[in-house]
Amino acid sequence: MDIIEQTNLHIMPTYARNPVVLADGHGATCHDAEGKTYLDFGSGIGTMSFGYCNPKWAEAVCEQVNTLQHTSNLFYHVPQAQLAEKLCQMSGYAKLFYANSGAEANECAIKLAKKYSTEKYSRNRNVILTLVNSFHGRTITTLSATGQDVFHQYFYPFTGGFRFVQANQIEDLYKNLDENVCAIMIEYVQGEGGVMALDETFVQEIRKICTEKDILMIADEVQTGIGRTGKLFAGEHYHCHADITTTAKGLGGGLPIGVCLADEKFADVLNSGSHGSTFGGNPVVCAGALAILNQITPELLNEVQEKGDFLRRKLTSLEEVVSVSGLGLMIGIQLKTKTAAAVRDTCLKKGLLVLTAKDRVRLLPPLNISRQELETGAEILCQCISAS
Ligand SMILES: Cc1ncc(COP(=O)(O)O)c(C=O)c1O
């Protein structure tokens, strides 16, 4: 039986998959089962930040697999401690919690905010403001936090206590603010929502309100974190340090991880028994993530910015392109007449993998993509966008 048939027969149909069976890859290049070569400008939705089978990551993972593949969180181990120290040093946060995905990292942030506020004020202070058009995950609570009606169907009852504010509208922010708000949760760049960057004045207003009213500012950097936008965290573009930052995708290099980082003031709110995970902070995953983090250097971050600028220049010069959004190597392309899905499908035929987000073509190429690969992929993309 062929792989696509076997998959469709036995796996629930939750994904709109491309009709391609991927077999192997190296760097920004991968091959399908028939040997066709593709350049990947999606990195598995931004997870393989250093491409397929990054040698340093692969070496760290393989070594750890052969040393200690797992312990429960009832014991200590080296990769967890080393990764936590490195991530806290690089980000300026005091402590973190290890989860297995972006949604789980956000669940942790939401629980932390509610516990802090319940203990210090009252259990009524449990409302979290999130933004219209946001995306925070697929668990019932993170779906409830997601500000898109399309996700608020079927799975009743949703978790209560979320209010949705129009992005960049300070007036709407104040309209939704009252004594029951315990947190404000944002993505600096709304990824799934179409690669839409927030205005700095709006972000700064949120920071100010949160500081003044002892409300937790939560930055969901699941997609924007770990160098994707040309900074370790996108908050740096906004000169903003959130009380809590969650991140996931790019940290794992392709293995499942999520983290919830907290400032000193909130670092011990979730104590023994109030949160946990069987696999969170797994040694193999952490060893790989540490190898990823060690490669996020100032030079690499500058390159990410330059490569993003190169793609922006190429794309904005096209007649068919209305606008190019996002930061660094997180790019959304709004088209005049073509649909994003049509461009994605044409690119696939021509050997280039791209993503879509809402009505936009979305690019999340590996951070270390070579200049040559970037130019080749950009050429294919421009042709596909411009073809009549
Ligand atoms: C901003 C943001 N938050 C949360 C998530 C959910 O992450 P995961 O699919 O790892 O649970 C995503 C995934 O696309 C995301 O982009």
- 34 pLDDT band, cuts 50/70/90, is very high
Q: What is the pLDDT of residue 257?
A: 98
7, 140: one domain: no
Q: Which of 220, 233, 266, 307 is catalytic?
A: 220
Tell me if residue 135 is catalytic: yes
Domain boundary, last residue among 256, 273, 293: 293
Question: Is 102's C-beta closer than 6 angstroms to any atom of ligand 1?
Answer: yes
97, 199: one domain: yes
Q: What is the pLDDT of residue 28?
A: 98
Q: What is the pLDDT of residue 224?
A: 98
79, 208: one domain: yes
- Domain harbouring 47, CATH code: 3.90.1150.10
Residue bearing the CA closest to ligand 1, atom 7: 102
CA of 60 to the centre of ligand 1 (A): 25
98, 231: one domain: yes
Is-contact 71 384, C-beta < 8 A? no
CA of 16 to the centre of ligand 1 (A): 17
Q: What is the mean pLDDT of residues 67-85?
A: 98
CA of 223 to the centre of ligand 1 (A): 7
Q: What is the pLDDT of residue 388?
A: 72
Q: Number of folded domains in the chain?
A: 2
187, 107: one domain: yes
CA of 103 to the centre of ligand 1 (A): 6
136, 189: one domain: yes
Question: Is 192's C-beta closer than 6 angstroms to any atom of ligand 1?
Answer: yes
- 214 pLDDT band, cuts 50/70/90, is very high
282, 246: one domain: yes
141, 38: one domain: no
Beta bridge partners of 164: 130
Q: Which of 115, 231, 249, 307 is catalytic?
A: 249
**146 vs 102, 141, 217, 331, 360, CA distance in Å?**
13, 9, 16, 21, 19
State pLDDT tens for residues 257-279.
999 999 999 999 999 999 999 99
Question: Is 228's C-beta closer than 6 angstroms to any atom of ligand 1?
Answer: no
For 35, the domain range is 3-53+298-386
89, 147: one domain: yes
**45 vs 3, 29, 72, 325, 342, CA distance in Å?**
22, 15, 29, 17, 18
**173 vs 79, 106, 192, 207, CA distance in Å?**
41, 21, 22, 12
State pLDDT tens for residues 342-371.
999 999 999 999 999 999 999 999 999 999
Domain boundary, last residue among 293, 323, 347: 293
Residue 1 has pLDDT above 80, yes or no: no
Q: What is the mean pLDDT of residues 32-51?
A: 97
Question: Is 223's C-beta closer than 6 angstroms to any atom of ligand 1?
Answer: yes
Q: Which atom of ligand 1 is nearest to the CA of 104?
A: 11
Mean pLDDT computed over every residue of the chain: 98
Tell me if residue 220 is catalytic: yes
Q: What is the mean pLDDT of residues 141-168?
A: 97
- Domain harbouring 99, CATH code: 3.40.640.10
* pTM of model > 0.95: yes
319, 258: one domain: no
Q: What is the mean pLDDT of residues 286-299?
A: 98
Domain boundary, last residue among 293, 311, 340: 293
Other beta carbons less than 10 A from residue 117's beta carbon: 24
CA of 2 to the centre of ligand 1 (A): 31
Tell me if residue 249 is catalytic: yes
Pairing of the two strands 216-220 and 244-247 = parallel
199, 153: one domain: yes
Residue 374 has pLDDT above 80, yes or no: yes
State pLDDT tens for residues 93-144.
999 999 999 999 999 999 999 999 999 999 999 999 999 999 999 999 999 9
Q: Which of 41, 50, 97, 135 is catalytic?
A: 135
159, 246: one domain: yes
